[in-house]
Amino acid sequence: MTTILALDTATTACSVALCRGGITTQRFVSTPREHTRLVLPMVDELLREAGISLKQVDALAFTAGPGSFTGLRIGFGVIQGLAFGADLPVIPVSTLATLALAGARKAQLGSGCILPALDARMGEIYWGLYRYQSGSVEPLMADQVASPQRVIEWGIGIPDLGVGDGWPHLVAGLSAARVDAALTPDAGCVVELARAEFSRGGVRSIDQVELTYIRNEVSWKKRKKIRQS
């Protein structure tokens, strides 16, 4: 009986989910700037309700990015503490993949193309392109950061579903069959992505895991190119 504890603090929402024996329970609160105060009590509450200790969990999962720099660091700090304290493996998942799965479930999408987008500030959005089918999502394009105009010019066609708070920056030039700009990721969907990864043996030790900021990676590559020039 696989038990996975997952959390998401990458956006304005904060959520924790526990999957045990195929049954998932979740705590979800949509409140910015409260993640530090809320996340550990939510973890304790779910473990207590399940009647288990942290050491009885098989793996920890979390949204590793992209997303809010502060939110990602809060989640990663909590995961580090839990993983080191109980000697547990970790499964990082994409925030945008989590958002795409949450959107497909809420929209009761049978199958189709999903474009999740998050406001990255500084005139840019984090975005990706995913295919949803058979209850799971797979990336069609890598998660990346770009200006909304660059995404519009990409020529990706009309996705079946657009989700996330980056979509208000896109609607002037990009259409989707349906749009839910208020949707945020949730830990219940983190669990589902992590369960699939767990079955493939995709767990890691915490010292092998890094956050996926994307913007930092892009900036670093640009600086490196300038130095080489």
Specify the pLDDT at position 186.
97
Q: Average pLDDT, stretch 87-97? A: 98
pLDDT digits (tens, 9 = 90+) for 35-91: 999 999 999 999 999 999 999 999 999 999 999 999 999 999 999 999 999 999 999
Which pLDDT value is given to residue 107? 97
- Domains 3-94+185-224 and 95-180 equal at CATH topology level: yes
Would you tell me which CATH number, out of the four given (3.90.1150.10, 3.30.1050.10, 3.40.50.10320, 3.30.420.40), belongs to the domain 95-180? 3.30.420.40
CATH superfamily of 3-94+185-224: ATPase, nucleotide binding domain (3.30.420.40)
Q: What is the 3-state secondary structure (H, E, C) of the chain?
A: CCEEEEEECCCCEEEEEEEECCEEEEEEEECCCCHHHHHHHHHHHHHHHHCCCHHHCCEEEEECCCCCHHHHHHHHHHHHHHHHHHCCCEEEECHHHHHHHHHHHHCCCCCEEEEEEEEEECCEEEEEEEEEECCEEEEEEEEEEECHHHHHHCCCCCCCEEECCCHHHCCCCCCCCCEECCCCCCHHHHHHHHHHHHHCCCCECHHHCCCCCCHHHHHHHHHHHHHHC
Any idea where the domains of the chain sit in the sequence?
3-94+185-224, 95-180
Higher-scoring residue by pLDDT: 216, 184: 184
Average pLDDT of every residue of the chain: 93
**Taking the model in full, what pTM does it have?**
0.93
Q: Residue 17: is its pLDDT beyond 80?
A: yes
pLDDT tens digits along 118-133: 999 999 999 999 999 9
pLDDT reading at 198 higher than 80: yes
